[in-house]
Amino acid sequence: MWSTAPTIAAGDLVIVWLTRDLLQPLLITPGKDFNSRFGNYRHNDFIGVPYGSKVGAPTGKGFIHLLRPTPELWTMALPHRTQILYLADIAFITSQLNIRRGSRVIEAGTGSASFSHSVIRSVGSAGHLWSYEFHEARAAKARDEFTRHGMLDIVTLTHRNVCKDGFTVIDTADSLFLDIPAPWDAIEHAKKALRKDCITRICCFSPCMEQVLRTVSALNDAGFTDITMYETLLRPHDVSQIPPLPSIDDAADKLKRAEARREEKRLKQIAQGQRTKRKRDGDSVDPDELDLKRAKTDKVTEEISVQVDEIAQDLAAPNTNNRFSVSKVMSEVRGHTSYLTFACLLPDISLISAPRA
Amino acid sequence: MSNNEVSSSSVTHRLPTIQSGYNVLLRLPNGDIRGVKVDKDATITVGRLGSFFANELIGVPYGFTHEIVDKNLKIMPPRTLQEVEDTDATNELINDGESVQPLTIDEITALKQSGVHSSDIINKQIEAHANYSLKTEYSKEKYKKRKEAKYSKTFTTIEPTLFNVCDYWFNKDQTRIRDIRADTLSQILNLANVRPGGRYIAVDDASGLVICGILSRMGGEGRLITICDTDSPPAYPVMVQMNFDPKSVNGVLSSLNWATAQEDYTPVLPPSDVPAEDMKSERQKARLKKRKLVTDALASTREELFAGEFDGLIVASEYDPWPIVQKLTPYISGSASIVVQSPYGQILDDLQNKMRAVPSFLCPTVTEGWLRRYQVLPGRTHPTMMTSGTGGFLLHAIKVYDDPEASAVETHRSHRNKKAKMGQPQVVIEKESTLLDSEMAVE
């Protein structure tokens, strides 16, 4: 498993945090360089640095954070070979399947091994994960990854199509997770792989409702019970601090002041107009000219209200202690990952009809 | 352990069968969940269902549906979903409020007392029902289910998994567990990287739900120090249903309170080192010995906390989270996770604003879990009509060691760009540089 030492050593896998959306796994290799938009670094300079350190670029421009890998960070940093599972689903499935220290778990397919890393962490060295991947190249890559991460004592990776060929263990698993296009074809095999002396659980992860319906009917036919289905998501909040909201009284005052100024202006213009009229030997007012004047007045009003707005903001700005926290859900969020279909397999009654304690 | 076959073959700490002394959750036909204590040779009474011998459950795996027959239990075969035939029936001719059930309550009571099986009572009711044949097949099934919930003397045992226990408490009284729904609890445990062998600090004012989650994931391996606001740690009600093996708890869990968790405070304790000649009786000796054990345990737990380097900090508290985070962050290691839960978003919004001003918190993020359950029945699959509106909010951050000398590649705010020299080429990556300062972008 990943290093638990307080400081970074040669050969460690670290997660380089560049930004919230840009994380990168890095195997510390003496003599190598790490170049990024945020500066150029030498791996040697990372050795001996405590995990969790902010490290400035040698040039003084830019910095990165060096983090200890966790399955959650790995999920954010891993090289995608397929669509991957994220925190909300991984966490929920782990709990629903009762995956914990010592659990024996089966998963198919391995994919990018986002879920696998989390399960391996949760079951620990007392448990085991059997992971199946039908795509040969992906299986090879996942195997390399598990080897590099020192997880081979906890995980067994098999290149195999479980729908066709089933699983490699019988009566063994406490729980089983299927993230494959046609889970219904693997249900009978899954039933064989699950242990029969206590209640066991299965989860099928499918993005489409049509898949869910076929899965449910296959689970039902195979004798699984307690079928439940969920969707779960994580809604990230965008938090900010804002000044107290202006009151409508302010708006009313502003409008009143604008109105007063407009009236003042109008009266001035009338007065001026009358002066002009008087100059022009008392002819009647041209209606076109009046419209023109009205338009001018409106423009002035707009200018006034803009000025008032500025004043209102200037007044609010210095009161930073009055600012309060608000939050809203980010404007664009993940709306769907997959449907999670769960079911239980009850122990074989014949196995437990032995005399009771 | 009476059942040595199970205990030897299993590495899990809770036996997969029901043992004497366990608190077991039972699901009744109407969907209610009831907790009962299963003690050897006792008789258990479950309200309307009547009573049965506890020994009937001991040694039996979880998950079966049992029928009570003369105080004994009969395991029912597992029930699968039934396909319902679509017919042309509609409710066109069925009117509300009409009396359609000629069987009176007295008659039903008489049937029940004569010991007739619940399915016979239901069949009699169906026979006497005036409009039963008019109902759609869906409606007929619903009717039968409703009657079964009323008359059948069955219950299903629920395995005390973390999920099931959380679900039980959430439905029973979600305010007592600070609105922590199973999905949110799972996220807390994953975000805090809780694993066997890890070392954690937790503050749990959620009836012990969070502590149970951590203990359950650690499986008896690792260390958990909790800090509470009472003299000695409270008896956590949620822990009752978990049926933890005491061995997997005692070696792992220690508690301090907010006074004893202060480094500069010397706890006031009665003397435990009394000279031997002052010992009067054996009883006094025993008392002093016990007192010494408590004093020593307290001292070593304090020492352990203050030595720090814990792997994670988990907070679900009714107290202001900011002083808690400030006080306990020094005791967790670099790169360790901080997870704070609250039923209220605003409390975590405030906390996030305070944390993001401190460079030792990397990217404090507020999230809310969203969960939707579906009814899955053949031909009738849809989201449940009523659902829980909230499972609480979470704030997650990573503790980092700041380097005040390090500066961003480029910043758009001049006051932060102290090291920027004049005449440097302006490469503007505004968004990233703000984020690098472990801030959320505020647009």
We report the CATH number of the domain holding residue A180 as: 3.40.50.150
Residues of A in contact with B340 (CB under 8 A): none
Mean pLDDT of B216-241: 94
In the Cβ-directed half-sphere of B289, how many Cα atoms lie within 13 Å? 8
Task: Out of B77, B197, B406, name the one closest to residue A124 (CB).
Answer: B197
Q: Is B137 helix (H, G, I), strand (E, B) or coil?
A: helix
Task: Out of A54, A127, A212, name the one closest to residue B402 (CB).
Answer: A54
- Which of A327, A330, A336, A341 is the mutation pick for testing B, counting most B CBs within 10 A? A327
pLDDT at B62 over 70: yes
- Say yes or no: A325 and A342 in one domain: no
Question: Is the pLDDT higher at A13 or at B143?
Answer: A13
pLDDT at B434 over 70: no
Residue B6's pLDDT is 35
Q: Is B21 at the interface with chain A, CB within 8 A? A: no
Q: Which pairing describes strands A324-329 and B310-316: parallel, antiparallel, or unpaired?
A: unpaired
Q: How far apart are CA A321 and CA A216, in angstroms?
A: 56
Output the furthest CA–CA distance in chain A (Å, rounded).
124
Least confident of A55-64, A150-159, B341-350: A55-64
Task: Out of B60, B190, B362, name the one closest to residue A17 (CB).
Answer: B362
With 0-12 CB in 10 A as exposed, 13-18 as middle and 19+ as buried, what is B208? buried
Residues of A in contact with B54 (CB under 8 A): none
Task: Out of A63, A101, A325, name the one closest to residue B217 (CB).
Answer: A101
Q: How far apart are CA A344 and CA B3, in angstroms?
A: 24
Average pLDDT, chain B: 84
Residue A352's pLDDT is 64
Domain assignment present for A291: no
CATH of residue A31's domain is: 3.10.330.20
pLDDT at B41 over 60: yes
Residue A323's pLDDT is 87
Domain assignment present for A273: no
Of the residues A28, A45, A69, the one at which a domain ends: A69
CB contact under 8 A, B403 and A63: yes
Chain B from 186 to 245: CB within 8 A of any A CB: 186-187, 189-191, 193, 195-197, 216-221
Residue B247's pLDDT is 86
Which pair of structure tokens corresponds to residue B425? Answer: 């080429």
Angle between helices B162-173 and B182-191 (to 10 degrees): 130
**Of residues B62, B371, B387, B59, the one with CA closest to residue A201:** B62
Mean pLDDT of B19-30: 94
Known binding-site positions of A for S-adenosyl-L-methionine:
133, 179
CB B37 within 8 A of CB B27: no
Please report which confidence band the pLDDT of residue A307 belongs to, taking 50, 70 and 90 as the band edges: low
pLDDT at B357 over 70: yes
Mean pLDDT of B152-163: 94
Mean pLDDT of A9-13: 96
Domain assignment present for A127: yes
Cα distance from A126 to chain B (closest Cα, Å)? 7
pLDDT at A295 over 70: no
Cα distance from A163 to chain B (closest Cα, Å)? 23
Chain A from 314 to 333: CB within 8 A of any B CB: 325-327, 329
- Say yes or no: A307 and A340 in one domain: no
Domain assignment present for A277: no
Q: Is A35 at the interface with chain B, CB within 8 A? A: no
Residue B77's pLDDT is 87
Mean pLDDT of B268-276: 74
Q: Which residue segments constitute the domains of chain B, with CATH numbers given?
A: 4-79 (3.10.330), 162-399 (3.40.50.150), 408-443 (no CATH)
CB B89 within 8 A of CB B136: yes
Mean pLDDT of B179-200: 98
Residue A291's pLDDT is 60
Cα distance from A313 to chain B (closest Cα, Å)? 18
Q: How far apart are CA B180 and CA B314, in angstroms?
A: 13
Instruction: Give, as one character, the DSSP assignment of residue B378.
Output: T
Mean pLDDT of B23-42: 94
With 0-12 CB in 10 A as exposed, 13-18 as middle and 19+ as buried, what is B245? middle
Please report which confidence band the pLDDT of residue B442 belongs to, taking 50, 70 and 90 as the band edges: very low
Residue A282's pLDDT is 59
**Of residues A181, A187, A165, A108, the one with CA closest to residue A345:** A187
Question: Is the pLDDT higher at B296 or at B109?
Answer: B296
- Say yes or no: A64 and A79 in one domain: no
pLDDT at A10 over 70: yes
Please report which confidence band the pLDDT of residue B10 belongs to, taking 50, 70 and 90 as the band edges: very low
Question: CA angle at residue B262 from B259 to B266, to 5 degrees?
Answer: 75
CB contact under 8 A, B442 and A91: no
With 0-12 CB in 10 A as exposed, 13-18 as middle and 19+ as buried, what is B422? exposed
pLDDT at B417 over 50: no
Residue B429's pLDDT is 34
Instruction: Give, as one character, the DSSP assignment of residue B406.
Output: -
Residues of A in contact with B405 (CB under 8 A): 56, 60
Residues of B in contact with A22 (CB under 8 A): 432
Q: How far apart are CA A12 and CA A9, in angstroms?
A: 6
Question: Is the pLDDT higher at B4 or at B412?
Answer: B412
- Say yes or no: A225 and A251 in one domain: no
CB contact under 8 A, B11 and A65: no
Chain A from 64 to 83: CB within 8 A of any B CB: 65-68, 70-72
Taking the CB of residue B108, how many other CB atoms lie within 10 A of it?
17
- Say yes or no: A158 and A207 in one domain: yes
Chain A from 263 to 292: CB within 8 A of any B CB: none
Q: Residues A167-188: pLDDT tens digits?
A: 999 999 999 999 999 999 999 9
Q: Is B337 at the interface with chain A, CB within 8 A? A: yes
Q: Is B97 helix (H, G, I), strand (E, B) or coil?
A: coil
Mean pLDDT of A210-223: 95
ipTM at complex level? 0.86
pLDDT at B427 over 60: no
- Say yes or no: A256 and A199 in one domain: no
Q: Is B63 at the interface with chain A, CB within 8 A? A: yes
- Say yes or no: A214 and A250 in one domain: no
Domain assignment present for A169: yes
Residue B234's pLDDT is 86
pLDDT at B413 over 90: no
Query: Rounded to 10 degrees, what is the CA torsion of B71, B73, B74, B75?
Result: 160
pLDDT at A211 over 50: yes
Q: Is B421 at the interface with chain A, CB within 8 A? A: no
- Say yes or no: A64 and A78 in one domain: no
CB contact under 8 A, A231 and B374: yes
CB A38 within 8 A of CB B436: yes
Residue B3's pLDDT is 38
- Which of A16, A92, A203 is the mutation pick for testing B, counting most B CBs within 10 A? A92
How many angstroms separate the Cα of B243 from the Cα of each of A344, B20, B216, B281? Answer: 21, 11, 10, 38
Residues of A in contact with B78 (CB under 8 A): 223, 225, 346
Quote the percentage of chain B above a pLDDT of 70: 85
Which pair of structure tokens corresponds to residue B290? Answer: 């016990």
Which pair of structure tokens corresponds to residue B24? Answer: 């077991």
The chain A residue lying nearest B443, using CA atoms, is: A240
Q: Residues B174-187: pLDDT tens digits?
A: 999 999 999 999 99
Quote the percentage of chain B above a pLDDT of 90: 58
Q: Is A257 helix (H, G, I), strand (E, B) or coil?
A: helix
Question: Is the pLDDT higher at B212 or at B91?
Answer: B212
Residue B151's pLDDT is 79
Residue B124's pLDDT is 77
Of the residues A69, A88, A117, the one at which a domain ends: A69
How many angstroms separate the Cα of A229 from the Cα of each of A213, B188, B385, B389? Answer: 10, 22, 14, 17
Domain assignment present for A81: yes
The chain A residue lying nearest B397, using CA atoms, is: A20
Residue B127's pLDDT is 77
The chain B residue lying nearest A214, using CA atoms, is: B378
Instruction: Give residue A253's domain range.
Output: 238-263+297-330
Q: Is A223 helix (H, G, I), strand (E, B) or coil?
A: coil
Q: Is A209 at the interface with chain B, CB within 8 A? A: yes
- Say yes or no: A82 and A189 in one domain: yes
CB contact under 8 A, B217 and A122: yes
Known binding-site positions of A:
133, 179
Taking the CB of residue B193, how many other CB atoms lie within 10 A of it?
24
**Of residues B82, B68, B24, B16, the one with CA closest to residue B240:** B24
CB contact under 8 A, B367 and A6: no
- Domains contained in chain A, number: 3
- Say yes or no: A143 and A188 in one domain: yes
pLDDT at A90 over 60: yes
Residue A149's pLDDT is 96
Q: How far apart are CA A58 and CA A89, in angstroms?
A: 40
Question: Is the pLDDT higher at A271 or at B93?
Answer: A271
Residue A301's pLDDT is 54
Domain assignment present for A272: no
Query: Rounded to 10 degrees, what is the CA torsion of A91, A229, B344, B362?
Result: 30
- Say yes or no: A88 and A215 in one domain: yes
- Which of B80, B242, B245, B344 is the mutation pick for testing A, counting most A CBs within 10 A? B80
Q: Is A237 at the interface with chain B, CB within 8 A? A: yes
Chain A and chain B share a number of CB contacts under 8 A equal to 284
CB contact under 8 A, B401 and A54: yes
The chain B residue lying nearest A229, using CA atoms, is: B374
Single-letter amino acid code for the residue at B20: S
Mean pLDDT of B130-157: 81
- Say yes or no: A38 and A168 in one domain: no
CB contact under 8 A, B219 and A126: yes
Q: How far apart are CA B421 and CA B407, in angstroms?
A: 12
Domain assignment present for A288: no
- Phi, psi of A286, rounded to the nearest 5 degrees: -75, 120
